Amino acid sequence: MGLADRILNNDIRAAARLMRDIDDGLESAKAELKQLYPHTGKAYIIGITGPPGAGKSTLVDQITAEYRGQGKRVGVVAIDPTSPFTGGAILGDRIRMNRHAEDEGVFIRSLATRGALGGISHSTGDVVNVMDAMGMDVVIIETVGVGQDEIDIVRMAHTTIVIMVPGLGDDIQAIKAGILEIGDIFVVNKSDRDGADRTARELSVMLEMGHSRDSGWMPKVLMTEGNRGEGIKALVTECLAHKEYLLSSGALNKFIMEKNAVILMNMLKDGLFNEAFRIVSKNGKFDKMVQEITDHSSDPYTIVENTVKGLIVTNRN
C-alpha cells in the first residue's frame, strides 16, 4: 500500500513519513498529495499569529486541550523561525506540547521557514491537506511574525486569531495596524500584566474604526492568561461563533474560492520557477547570467526579460 492509502487508513507513521517527504521536497510526495486531495475540505482550520513573546505556543497547547476535551482530533502545524543556513526548525516537535505527546488524537508537526526559495506557505498547505485527509477535525496553524509569508499562511485558515500582549514596544502600533484586517478574533494574552486593559481598549477602538459595513463579522477582543488556562473556553466558543457565521452567511464559499486562488497562484509561481531554473541552470547558463550582472556587462532587468521571453511561448496559449 502507498503512503496515501495508509494515511486514509489512519496510519500515523505514514502521515509523518509523507510530511517529511514534503519537507524534503521529494517529487514522489506529489502523487500521494494528489490521491489525498479528494478527501480534504472537512477540517476546520484555525490560524494563530502574533509577535514574538506573545505566548502563542502556550495558547495553542491550551486550545488543543479544550478541543480534545470535546472529543475532537486536533492537528497542529507550527511554523518555526529557522536558521537560514542549516535549514532545521529550531523549537522542533520535541519540546512542543509535551503533555499531548502520548495522545493519538493530537498530531503535531513543526515546519521550518526555509532558505531563499523554499516556499513555506506552499508546504504548509500540503501539510494541512495531509492532516485534513487524516481526519483531523481541527487543524491549528501557528506562525511567528507579520511578514508576507505569514499573511499568506493565515489566509489558509477559516478563522484567524491574532495574539497581542501588553507593552511590547515602539513598533507595536504599526504591527497592530498591519494585522488588524487579517484577524477574526483578537486576544490580549498575559492579561495579568500591566496595561492589558489599555491594550484591549486600544485594539477595540482601532477595530471599530476599521470596521466596514460590508463585512458582517465584527471581530471581538478577548483576554486570556495562557499559562493558567484562563479565557480559553471563551476563545474556543468564539471560534465556533465565527465558524457558524461563515456557514450561515454564505461567506464560506467566497472565502474558499479566494483561498484556493491564492494557493494556486503560489503553487504556480513555485512550479514555474522550479522548471525554469532546471532549464536555465544547464551548461552554466545561470552562472553566466550572474557573472554578467556582477561585471555590469548586462543588467538583471534585461536578462530576466529575455529569459522569460525565451521560456514562455505565448502563441501556443
| Near its own copies in 275-314, by CB under 8 A | 275-277, 279-280, 282, 286, 289-291, 293-294, 296, 299-305, 307-308, 310-314
Kindly give the residue spans of alpha helices, DSSP state H, lying in 40-158: 56-69, 120-134, 148-154
Which of positions 194-253 make contact with its own copies (CB under 8 A)? none
Distances 61 to 78, 98, 206, 237 between C-alpha atoms, Å: 11, 9, 29, 16
Helix (H) or strand (E) holding 236: helix 232-249
Cβ-in-10-Å burial (0-12, 13-18, 19+) of 4 comes to buried
Which of positions 80-109 make contact with its own copies (CB under 8 A)? 80-86, 90-91
Residue of 170, 213, 214, 284 that binds its own copies (CB under 8 A): 170
User: What is the spatial distance between Cα 47 and Cα 226, in angstroms, rounded to a whole number?
Assistant: 17
If the CB atoms of residues 51 and 231 are measured against its own copies, the closer one turns out to be 51
Q: Residue 257's CB: how many other CB atoms inside 10 A? A: 9
If the CB atoms of residues 71 and 117 are measured against its own copies, the closer one turns out to be 117
| Chain centroid, CA 68 distance in Å | 22
Min separation Cβ 238 and its own copies, Å: 22
- Contact between residue 165 and residue 52 where contact means Cβ atoms under 8 Å apart: no
- Contact between residue 156 and residue 22 where contact means Cβ atoms under 8 Å apart: no
If the CB atoms of residues 190 and 242 are measured against its own copies, the closer one turns out to be 190
Residue of 23, 66, 150, 225 that binds its own copies (CB under 8 A): 150
User: Is position 9 an interface residue for its own copies (rule: CB under 8 A)?
Assistant: no
Residue of 169, 209, 213, 284 that binds its own copies (CB under 8 A): 169
Site string for its own copies, 22-41 (x = CB under 8 A): --------x--xx--xx-xx
If the CB atoms of residues 103 and 206 are measured against its own copies, the closer one turns out to be 206
Residue of 5, 69, 101, 181 that binds its own copies (CB under 8 A): 181
